[in-house]
């Protein structure tokens, strides 16, 4: 379903700021901070204000079209993806990757069974060192 349809379905309008923010997010293959999004949006249309970027991100998140992550210092945004997500964050270079793992579903089952808790979304964040980076010389 298209962005426009999703919006219209809920009586929201497809405006230029919304289209551009969505394009920027869709075209990026990595997480972007609000500042980066605002910058790129502004590059594409200097007339679009930062506050519209924030308002759009909030709206798209509400519609489950984008997802906010707080993996690092600043929070970042990306198009929403399947429920179980593993984020691999390199402590050295900061790169963030996704990783599929069937085990997450096992985890969900275990929690549902043992924790008196009904899981909906599971987020896994793994800090570590990626292949490109040297192993930490002084492991803490």
Partner DNA sequence: CTTGTTGCAAAAAATTTGCAACGCG
Partner DNA sequence: CGCGTTGCAAATTTTTTGCAACAAG
Give residues in contact with a copy of itself (CB under 8 A). 64, 70-71, 75, 86, 88, 90-91, 97, 99, 101, 103-104, 106-108, 110-111, 114-131, 135, 139-140
Q: Measured from the CB of residue 65, what is the shortest distance to a copy of itself in angstroms? A: 12
User: Do the beta carbons of residue 31 and residue 77 sit within 8 Å?
Assistant: yes
Alpha-carbon gap, residue 48 to 127, rounded angstroms = 36
Q: Measured from the CB of residue 116, what is the shortest distance to DNA in angstroms? A: 31
If one asks whether residue 84 binds DNA (CB under 7 A), the answer comes out as no
Query: Residue 69 forms beta bridges with which residues?
Result: 76
Alpha-carbon gap, residue 45 to 123, rounded angstroms = 34
Alpha-carbon gap, residue 95 to 114, rounded angstroms = 34
- CA 57 from centre of chain: 11
Tokens linked to 32: 């972007």
49 vs 127 by CB, closer to a copy of itself: 127
Q: Measured from the CB of residue 11, what is the shortest distance to DNA in angstroms? A: 6
Picked from DNA, a copy of itself, none, the partner binding residue 41 (CB below 5 to 8 A depending on kind) is none
Site residues (vs DNA, CB under 7 A): 4, 7-8, 11-18, 33-35, 47-52, 54-56, 58, 74-75
């Amino acid at each position: 379903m298209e962005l426009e349809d999703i919006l219209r379905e809920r009586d929201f309008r497809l405006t230029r700021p919304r289209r551009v923010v969505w394009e920027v997010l869709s075209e990026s293959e990595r997480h972007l901070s609000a500042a980066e999004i605002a910058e790129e949006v502004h590059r594409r249309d200097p007339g679009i204000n930062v506050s519209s970027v924030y308002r759009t991100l909030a709206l798209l998140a509400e519609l489950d079209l984008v997802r906010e992550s707080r993996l690092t210092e600043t929070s970042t945004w990306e198009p929403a993806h399947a429920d179980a997500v593993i984020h691999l964050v390199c402590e050295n270079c900061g790169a963030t990757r996704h990783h599929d793992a069937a085990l997450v579903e096992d985890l969900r089952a275990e929690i549902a069974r043992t924790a008196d808790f009904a899981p909906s979304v599971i987020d896994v964040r793994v800090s570590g060192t990626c292949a490109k980076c040297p192993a930490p010389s002084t492991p803490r």
